[in-house]
A and B are shown apart, each in its own frame.
Chain A
Amino acid sequence: MKTIILSTAIRLLTPLFQVFSIYILLRGHNHPGGGFIGGLIGAIAFVFDTLANGHESTEKTFFTLKVYQQPRKSGISYLQHYLQFIRMNIQRKKEAGQLDVQQQYCIQLRPVYLMALGLFIATISGTISLLLQQPFMTSQWPEFHIPVLGSPGTPLLFDLGVYLLVMGIILKIVFTLAKE
């Protein structure tokens, strides 16, 4: 289903979906919302992108990071070398052609890794209270406040875990079903 209208609209809507999903994630403690629905909304952006461009394109655009690396030139300290390495990888779009790139790696973020990370965060958020000799998943609230977010307690951590988990699962399902 490759139509120009859809793919253009999706390119504009994707960041909107992302921002909205994070908003839904953060307001979830006292209002409708939360990790699950936030994760669903966040995943919708990528699902639409898969519909418009195919799953390979989605995986390549959003879940793969190409890393360029040069061997260290003699006479340059390690710090300089790493600074150069970071700069090269940030600015690569403009000067990718001129770089004498020696090696490039692909870091791929599989949906499975998202799921693992989400599960881990969610489980850790429950285990923290076990370590404090309280029942599992008793909510712990730190003393300080962050201006917009409020106090970031363990329920927020749990919601964040659910967010990542749901996103990973939806993406896994969609990519599996899209592979023909």
Chain B
Amino acid sequence: MSQHLLVLLPLLLPLYGAILCLPFWKRSLPQQWVAGCTQVCWMASAAMLIYEVTTTGIVKTQIGNWPAPYGITMVADIFSALMIGASTIVGFAVYLFSLRGLNESRKTYGYYPMLLLLQMGISGVCLTGDIFNLYVWFEVLLISCFTLLALGGTKAQLEGTIKYVTINMLASGLLLTGIGMVYSLTGSLNLAELGRLVRQPGSDLSLVNIASIFFLIGFGIKSAIFPLFFWLPASYHTPPIAISAFIAGLLTKVGIYTLIRLFTLVFIMDRNFILPLLLVLSGLTMVVGVLGAASQTDFRKILSFHIVSQIGYMLMGLAINTPLAIAGSVFFILHNILVKTNLFLISGVVAQRHKTFALKKLGGEYLKNPFLAILFLLSALSLAGIPPFSGFWGKFMLAKAGLLNENYSIVATSLAVSLITIFSMTKIWNEAFLKPKPDNNGSEKEVVTSEEKQASRYLLVPVVLLAGIILFIGLYAEPVISLSIRAAEQLKNTDLYINAVLNR
């Protein structure tokens, strides 16, 4: 298969899927079929891309056949291929969940086309090699995300959406300002060309650093870094689970992906300013996120605050900035995409039975459904980083890199935050699974029809799928770790990327 087709398939398939969904407006069944086929094809295309990238190296294509620094480049290295691979798995799981876990009116009014466009946006962000094109893909991703958040139009959803829209429009504006600045300084928009120009001797770096602050703030808002994360717990828990699981699992990580890409390739890390700043921000993000989670009593809000806390770990790898640390970040991102989505889906399965997310009203789930409890335990321990599960390896690599680089305080912070993570996971475990179901004065006698029982059994399918992958990554971590290390080496060795794109 030609390289051009291979790079663009993960982008084109969801687009065609979304287009094919549109003629079936207001009829959910054909849309379901189209979306399902697209998800499977998307997974296959990502697998082919990962295979190609790991065997032959960086692949790229030029849109419209315009040569490299002038035309738009689409390029896939190991990191971006892995990101797309993880998002395809999550997309498939969320699709399976949505078949029974989403009400009919949302399905008919454009859930599937919007989900597919969102996935196209994610592929675009991961594949693009042009800084303005990156902005465009981010907008594609955001506007489908806005629509998904507002889909259904309940009171809480509208309120969450308005916060999300406002803050993200500001972030996009800041990004655009940064892009204008970078263009006026260097006269180029191609990431590889920018990387080459910045590394040239005699280039004026002080102003590039100012531009990098715009990007740090813009993508920092999108990926919920410490002082800029308040929109996330205010909006992520409002939509139904089939929507919020996908958004929560992926969007912030895509922001972190771009930060890692830009700060390894374009902006040279300044030992006096940017690195210490990132280090402090990552530590604060971890601590504040996990403390916020500890104070919450809503299943989804605890998980939302944990997203913020985990973002700190991913940033920590970038801030330590050794190959091992970045490999840890890459591994952690992949693991977190799967685990976080799985936890959200489990909260959806629990809420399907109890009709609530409030921990006070939940309970007794362990006796009724021990299998689900075990799946939750697996994901929760993995999130906290207990040895046989996948989270451990990411944290281990990050901590080791931190110790080797003598950043003792950030390592201590990250380990302490892990401890509090276990605490809040234990809280969910105790409240939702172990304690007996609180008596609602008999007024809300729980009536579980056989249909509902069957539906909730069906909802377990994606959860089991994701939990299996998490367990697999945890027990047999070797291939994924070696892939992340190779990805990190590619990221650190920028000449590979630059030469591959500029054909030198």
A–B touch (CB < 8 A): the answer is yes
Partner of B8, one of A110, A119, A130, A133: A130
Least CB separation from B16: chain A residue:
A123
In the complex, the answer to whether A134 meets B5 with C-beta atoms within 8 Å is: no
Given contact pairs A127-B12, A130-B5, A135 touches B22 in the complex (Cβ within 8 A): no
- Once the chains are docked, how many angstroms separate the CA of A133 from the CA of B1? 9
Tell me if B19 and A136 are in contact (CB < 8 A): no
Selected contact of B63 from candidates A110, A119, A137, CB within 8 Å: A137
Q: Which B residues are in CB contact (< 8 Å) with A129? A: 65
Minimal beta-carbon separation of A157 from chain B (angstroms): 14
| CB-defined contacts of B65 to chain A, threshold 8 Å | 129, 134-135, 138
User: In chain A, residues 109-134, which have Cβ atoms closer than 8 Å to a Cβ of chain B?
Assistant: 110, 112-113, 115-116, 119-120, 123, 127, 129-130, 133-134
Chain A residue contacts of B8, Cβ below 8 A: 130, 136
Query: Contacts A113-B23, A116-B23, A123-B12: A137 and B64 contacting too (C-beta < 8 A)?
Result: yes
The answer to whether B4 and A133 touch across the interface, beta carbons within 8 angstroms, is yes
Q: Please give me the residue from chain A that is nearest to B64 by CB atom.
A: A137
Cβ-closest chain B residue relative to A127:
B12
Q: How far is the CA of A115 from the CA of B64 in the complex (A)?
A: 23
Q: Is the CB of B22 within 8 A of A113?
A: yes
Counting contact residues on chain A (CB < 8 A from B), the size range is 10 to 19
Instruction: Point out which of A115, A130, A133, A136 has the most chain B C-beta atoms below 10 A from its C-beta.
Output: A136
Contact of B4 among A113, A120, A123, A136 (CB under 8 A): A136
Shortest CB-to-CB span from B367 to chain A, Å, is 48
- Asked if B398 is at the interface (CB within 8 A of a chain A CB), the reply is no
* Chain B residues, Cβ within 8 Å of A135: 4, 61-65
Contacts of A137 in B (CB 8 A): 63-64
User: Which A residues from 79 to 135 make CB contacts under 8 A with B?
Assistant: 110, 112-113, 115-116, 119-120, 123, 127, 129-130, 133-135
Do B64 and A110 touch across chains, with their CB atoms under 8 A apart? Answer: no
B64–A120 CB distance below 8 A: no
What is the chain A residue whose CB lies nearest that of B8?
A: A136
How far, in angstroms, from A150 to B8 measured CA to CA in the complex? 31
Is B4 in contact with A134, judged by CB distance below 8 angstroms?
Answer: yes
Q: How many angstroms from the CA of A135 to the CA of B63 in the assembled complex?
A: 6
Which residues of B lie under 8 Å from residue A69 when comparing CB positions? none
Chain A: which residue is nearest B74 at the CB level? A136
- Bound CA span A6–B260, Å: 56
Given A133-B4, A135-B64, A138-B65, A115-B12 contact (CB < 8 Å): no
Contact with B along A48-90 (1 / 0, CB 8 A): 0000000000000000000000000000000000000000000
User: In the assembly, what is the distance between CA of A123 and CA of B116, in Å?
Assistant: 15
Fill in one digit per residue for B2-38: 1 if any A CB lies within 8 Å of its CB, else 0: 1011001000100110110011010000000000000
Cα A57 to Cα B34 in complex, Å, equals: 34
Q: Which residues of chain A have C-beta atoms less than 8 A from B62's C-beta?
A: 135
CB within 8 Å of A: which of B232-279?
none
Who on chain B is nearest to A110 by CB? B25
The answer to the question of A139 belonging to the interface, with a C-beta cut-off of 8 Å to chain B, is yes
- Min CB distance, A47 to chain B, in Å? 22
**Residue ranges of B at the interface with A (Cβ–Cβ < 8 Å):** 2, 4-5, 8, 12, 15-16, 18-19, 22-23, 25, 61-65, 74
Q: Other than the known A116-B22, A134-B65, A136-B74, what 17 A-B pairs have Cβ atoms closer than 8 Å?
A: A113-B23, A113-B25, A119-B15, A119-B18, A119-B19, A120-B19, A123-B12, A123-B15, A129-B65, A130-B8, A133-B2, A135-B61, A135-B62, A135-B65, A136-B8, A136-B61, A136-B64
